Structure 1
């Protein structure tokens, strides 16, 4: 009999890591598309390097801070809800231990165990750590791994910044005649990579994800470039 692999033995931890990787890829993808739309739109109106750098840097900072703040608020709300649920469960275990044992038995029965086996399992889990047992089985929460809003905020900030740097550098570093071409090629190439990576992390077929990603990025750049060209032609 072969030994289980590390991934097979820790599927919960592996799933958590994959969720963080997917979030990082999507954050980088947002940085690429939003910043590319800004700098390409400005490039449609002016070829001034300072204007492009200012617009791109402003978009990078605004986007990364917005992503970080939004993720912090969202995950803080999730953490508050988890803590409140755990506090309620702790009170119920203190005040109604028999009812909570019966509830745990019923939940295990719903998962396919016979009444006798479910009761025995519930008693063993309760004897070891009743709060941990109810948190995992009833609430679907691991009390030792609650959501961390600071981790989420920093991850979103760094992922968005990493993605946004690509179009920013691509628009300001090349010679004026090559800026737009280099930016479009770099952005579309990066979107192919992020689309493929997100699909693979989600165990999905990459072709459709890549096409969606590239089409969305190309549309964003096309729209903003058109708008910038119209404003530039109008002397705005």
Structure 2
């Protein structure tokens, strides 16, 4: 019975951890695309308020796309690199403690398992079995919440942010430069608001949050951004004329 319990408790937690990790990546992708949509839409709509030049709109949109995607990628790389360094340091400390004070670490693992709801005797037996199998992995997962074999990869995070932002930014960029002049603004506004509704719905579903408030917040925020930048562009264009 003890073996079944320890065996069952092993893979269940990593399963939930993996699921949570995948959801976090998906949520980051949705939010990255959302940032690309809003920032690029605000930029090109603002420029559209000042000029009708397709070349100017394309130049501004591409500049915003590249600057935003590279900034997002660099930020994610730095952030995740820092997280990875912290995880490595925590694992190295745990490895040293296991080598220098194994009995204290066994007591600590027992206490952690007891805190998770196991009876003290069962927690001790499970701690001994986990320690015998792979002490470092057991402590990393139970005590630190880290899988030593699946540390966060900063390059994966950087590329994911770069691609998500680029995909989101392409929508307002194409919407503002492809249609005829008289259709540019309405096509862009409608396309952006529809895309923001989708990303708001997606982020709410991934976060198990109410959908309607998330969609309305997203759409209202995007509409406000485009309205403010368009007004600013119109005023600057009038001053320049």
Q: Normalising TM by the smaller chain, what interval? A: over 0.9
Output the CA distance in 2 between the equivalents of 1:146 and 1:216: 35
2:92 corresponds in structure 1 to 87
Q: Secondary structure at the match of 2:240?
A: coil
Output the CA distance in 1 between the equivalents of 2:220 and 2:40: 16
1:51 Cα offset (Å): 0.4
Output the CA distance in 2 between the equivalents of 1:17 and 1:138: 21
1:29 Cα offset (Å): 0.3
Output the CA distance in 1 between the equivalents of 2:111 and 2:204: 38
Aligned counterpart for 2:236 among listed residues 223, 231, 236? 231
Task: Tell me whether 45-54 or 7-16 shows the greater mean CA deviation.
Answer: 7-16
Number of matched pairs: 230
2:214 corresponds in structure 1 to 209
Output the CA distance in 1 between the equivalents of 2:81 and 2:170: 28
Output the CA distance in 2 between the equivalents of 1:127 and 1:118: 14
Q: Does 1:13 align with 2:18?
A: yes
C-alpha offsets along residues 119-155 of structure 1, whole Å, 9 cap, x if unaligned?
A: 1010000000000000011111111110100000000
Q: Does 1:58 align with 2:50?
A: no
Unmatched segments (≥5 aa) in structure 2: 1-11
Report the TM-score when normalising by structure 2: 0.93
Aligned counterpart for 2:40 among listed residues 35, 39, 48? 35
Unmatched segments (≥5 aa) in structure 1: 1-6
1:203 Cα offset (Å): 1.4
Q: Does 1:120 align with 2:125?
A: yes
Q: Does 1:141 align with 2:142?
A: no
Q: Extract structure 1 runs of 4+ deviating beyond 6 A.
A: none
Q: Does 1:105 align with 2:104?
A: no
Report the TM-score when normalising by structure 1: 0.95
C-alpha offsets along residues 107-126 of structure 1, whole Å, 9 cap, x if unaligned?
A: 11111222211110100000
C-alpha offsets along residues 78-101 of structure 1, whole Å, 9 cap, x if unaligned?
A: 000000000000001011111110
The CA RMSD over aligned residues, in Å, is 1.4
Q: Secondary structure at the match of 1:74?
A: helix
2:79 corresponds in structure 1 to 74
